[in-house]
Structure 1
Amino acid sequence: MMLNEQESVRHRRRGAALEAVLLDAAWAELTEHGYDAFTFDAVAVRADTSRAVLYRRWATKQELVLAAIGHGAARVPLEIPDTGSVRGDMLALLRYANATRVSTAIILSLHLGGYFTDTGSSLDDLRTVLRGDFPDAVRTVMDRGVQRGELDPGRLSDRIERLPFDLYRYELMMTAKPVPEDVLQEIVDTVFLPLVSPLQGGTA
């Protein structure tokens, strides 16, 4: 492809397609070099564009980093599992997280100290960005479990519904490695299901 043809292809990128390219580049820069070395110039070079294109969308480094984190955490589309049981569905969601969130955990634990200093924020402030579609998926799993009689709706609360993934994220952040299968099963079987299963006449 000749140079003018390459420039034509580059300039035809618009809207969501262009934004995805920009965020892919930002995520790659953040992954490889960390927050402190992260610059608009480096992202623009990687995305084969100009700083002006980035600044039209994100006014500051911190805004672009936050968008890149959300983009990186959602790179693999989430499909809500339907295994026929709450146990199976929750384990499937945790295994999905294991397959897609480790690199995000490494970035958060090793590369974002400067971001938290600059913004005065904490890891908890990124909760919404990091959770992505998981709350909707968990809500669907819970609703199906109630309909099947596996779960007691009176024992469900927002905090309890978040518990499996809060425990998962703790394990992931402490080790920056995929959480072992036996730990995933312990989270579901030993901690979560006893809290939400009917007290009498039901099993999960």
Structure 2
Amino acid sequence: MEKETRTRKRGLALEQTIYAVALRLFDQKGIDAVTFKNVAHYAKTSRSVLYRRWDSPSALLVDAVHHWAHENSGFSEDLDTQSFPDTGSLRGDLIENARQIEGLHERINQYLIKFTLYQAVNGETINDDLLKKAEEGAVELGTLLATRAINRGELKVIPSKEVLMLLGNIRRYYSFIATQQAPDPEELIDQIVLPAWLANQQ
């Protein structure tokens, strides 16, 4: 027992193991297998550790999918001035963001389909939780890009929350609904997103 305690994972390693276990259970056995009891057992941790971090197994699963999608798309979860490329212009940063979102959505899409089926049967709003997380990320990243643009003299103020979320919302539409009609990133930014960012900058 002592030996097991010494080798038990902690911190980031434990978090990554928890996410991997949750996704493996979901993929192999379905969402009903993603319980705190099962995750704790296979991740070799305690249920109390999970209860301290997540309100429900569904919330854990949303975080696991979000983490997995970021890890496999190259679009870092940890936003700071170093982690997102600085292209030297607001237009360039928005185009880079559009490209990264496209890759992120490709990864998330396979889980959205499963979540939608589960939601239709059980009435749980897993997709809504994932959407909320995506919108929070869009506002955080948008604020970072706007701050850069202000420092360069391209903007005077940070755009509204609705404008900061515009790119992500449009990309979601083309990624999950009108997949055959998606414009390329440059066209999307030049015709829709950048004009919205530059509006109301008196």
TM-score normalized by the length of structure 1: 0.70
Aligned length: 189
Distance 1:175 1:33 in 2: 31
Distance 1:195 1:105 in 2: 27
> What is the CA distance between 1:98 and its match in structure 2?
2.5
**Which residue pairs with 1:191 in the alignment?**
192
Identity of aligned residues (%): 25
Q: 1:60 to 1:137 in 2, by over 3 A?
A: closer
Establish whether residue 57 from structure 1 lines up as the match of residue 50 from structure 2.
yes
Is the 2:89–2:149 Cα contact (8 Å) retained in structure 1? yes
- Unmatched segments (≥5 aa) in structure 1: none
Residue in structure 2 matched with residue 91 of structure 1 by the alignment: 95
1:26 aligns with 2:22: yes
Matched, 1:140 2:141: no
SS at match of 1:101: helix
The equivalent residue for 2:173 is 170
Q: Is the 8 A contact 2:59 2:129 kept in 1?
A: no
Higher relative contact order (CA 8 A, sep 6+): 1
In 2 relative to 1, CA 122–13 (structure 1 residues): closer, same or farther, beyond 3 Å?
A: closer
Query: Is this contact kept in 1: 2:18–2:39, CA < 8 A?
Result: yes
Radius of gyration: which is bigger?
1
Name the Cα RMSD after superposition: 3.7
CA separation in 2, counterparts of 1:10 and 1:170? 48
Gaps of 5+ in 2: 78-82
Deviations 1:132-191 (A, max 9, x none): 64432221211222333333538x2110111011101121122679x96x4322221100
1:56/1:176 Cα in 2 relative to 1: closer, same or farther (>3 Å)? farther
Deviation at 1:93, TM superposition (A): 1.5
Structure 1 residues 69 and 196: alpha-carbon distance in aligned structure 2, compared to 1, 3 A threshold: same
Contact 1:25 1:43 in 2 (8 A): yes
Residue 85 of structure 2 aligns to a residue whose secondary structure is: coil
Greater shift, 163-172 or 65-74, is seen at 65-74
